[in-house]
Chain A
Amino acid sequence: MADIKARIAKRVAKELKDGDVVNLGIGLPTMVPQFIPEDVVVTLHSENGFTGLDAMAAEDKIDTDIIDSGGNYVTVLPRVNYFDTATSFGIIRGHHLDATVLGAMQVAENGDLANWIIPGKKVAGMGGAMDLVVGAKEVIIAMTHTQKGNHKILEKCTLPLTAEKCVNLIVTEMGVMKVTDEGLVVTELHPDFTKEEMQEATGCKLIFSPDLKPMED
């Protein structure tokens, strides 16, 4: 499982370009920075109020005035800028974020996303997720392809949406899928899987690109 998550995070890291400002969701997306090459300088946005997030703070480096959006004490880079919530979400909604990387419960072939609520379960709330997927220029979903054998990539989401038609790219342990007007186009397939296996694990029709490439570990 750890290998699968690292594979996904590593592949997502390749999508990020020098100079990008990026917001990472909790969980798997937080593994992405360790795979960004040194010559690609990415600035991380923390929606509770700053750009220039560095890393989790060691116990002796904690400044209690600096938490990230998960409530963790973190360190920041010299280019940090702190702002209030209205400014933070102005950055998000105003298309000033180059990308956001998030997990998902369900994604539909048209790019609809559901990642914030399961009716009947404990109430959590969307936090900044609805703004992030509407505002970021590129919405990348980093997730395992299925959940306990159940399809997560579907013709239509059954859970309440986070936003309509917002997802641009899906990266799973099986491969990389682009959301297009024609449907989901698989651009990379991991050598551990066949096209048939990937299709079997998907709840909508996949279009395998004529330039299909192997997904790297």
Chain B
Amino acid sequence: MSPRIACLLGLATSPLAAQDGGQLYTTHCSACHAIDGQGATGGTFPPLAGSPWVNSEAALAIQIVLHGLDGPVDVLGKTYNLAMPPQGAVLADPEIAAILSYTRSSWGNRSSVVSPADVAAARKASTGRTKPWTAPELLKLHPLVIEKSALTNLTSQAYFGEWSDLPDFTQLKAENIEEENSGLISVRHGLRNDHFGVVWQAEFNAPEDGEYLFRLDCDDFGRVIVNGTSLMEIREIGPMGRAKEGRITLTKGKHPIRIEYAEAAGDQGIALAWKGPGMERWKPLSDLTSGGGDPWPNIPIIPPTGEAVVYRNFIEGTTPRAIGIGLPGGVSFAWSADHFAPELVWTGLFMDGGRHWTDRGVGNDPPAGERIIKLANAPALATAAEAAERWPDRPALAARFRGYRFESPDSPTFSVEAAGLKLLDRYQAGAPDTLDRTLRMTGRPSEPLLLLLARGLPITPVGDGRFSLGDGLAVEVRSPKPARLLGDGSLVLPLDGDATAGIRYLWR
């Protein structure tokens, strides 16, 4: 043992060690884990409050403090990938014991005290360890002990709507039903960030007969019903920090609990806790993620040099069968395989995978760039007869998507067939802020066909096959038969067998 540590031990063999736990925590730990144990800078660093990494075997927590932790680690459902520096050479056994005893009994944590002897034993068990731990290494030695929530058979159902008060959910249709094995309610069960509600139903397991307190805090509306009795309600738009308590006498055993929640807009959050007879500390029924902001990390998807990148997923602003293409050079588009045409075009960043690649990956992901133009939102192929005056919302013409291919890595071609005509729709980045589209038509259509180029945005002919589209985009069309405007303002292109058309989109 180094002289320095021996010296510190000498000083610290006094009853002050335990009392100093909070002080030591503030000095050595709070910069990252925050004074309230929630993790500093709003979720960048992992929380210690309610964390099974803190509350399982003491040996697990001690090893992390001694040697640090590198690499991905899941804490309360969120993955962190940081580097906790080792403290074993900085702190003596009594100091580590005091910090961990403090940590394990604060902010709702209720785990056993840690002694200097525990720390010494952990040091001995890991002699020779020179690198920080990784989560998998630790879990093999010290599996997590997750304290069971008092809620069993918990289900969540999300609802979409805009409300200025808690709605009557019995009159609304749920979007889904999910089983929540964690036994904890979470705003993430709402599937989106605004204009949603959630109803949770579960059995609350009361450990003994007596009076029970429930404490609800939420942004925006919520209420808790136990055994059919409403315990408390929060009925006005507002942030967390307006907690209300309710009390109810329960017999030992299971009682039905129903929690209703709705979010208007802005930040969102719900925290629910309970306290039973003789209990000093509240126990959580919610995950401890505080509300507000995106609950997922940014994962930008960027085309490799000279190649296009594909993102096939649910993209906001177009149909579910969306194929996002990020071309090298910063021009992107989303091609709808339901409507057989590009529907969104934009510049700048392509897409961000964070939403879809986190947790259950719920909802639509919007383009991650700027100058987004929505070209149209209807099936793009119709017979000339059915689209004489206006573009039909549901063309009778049956078209079929055949897939896409890359003739070169930077240029995708989409293949569509309709009424005997085969359409090859190829895209390439041109000059900066330019998207080049080439339509190759082969075969003989059984009747004249039209392709929808744009609809639902202001379109102005500028002459010579050029049109301005919405705000800031122009399109130039070179084709055997010219593009034209229908009576309803839709821009259409007549399709010819065995011909080629060139369409150029330019951002100004």
Q: Do A and B bind each other?
A: no
**Interface residues in chain B, defined as those with a beta carbon under 8 Å from any beta carbon in chain A:** none
**Interface residues in chain A, defined as those with a beta carbon under 8 Å from any beta carbon in chain B:** none
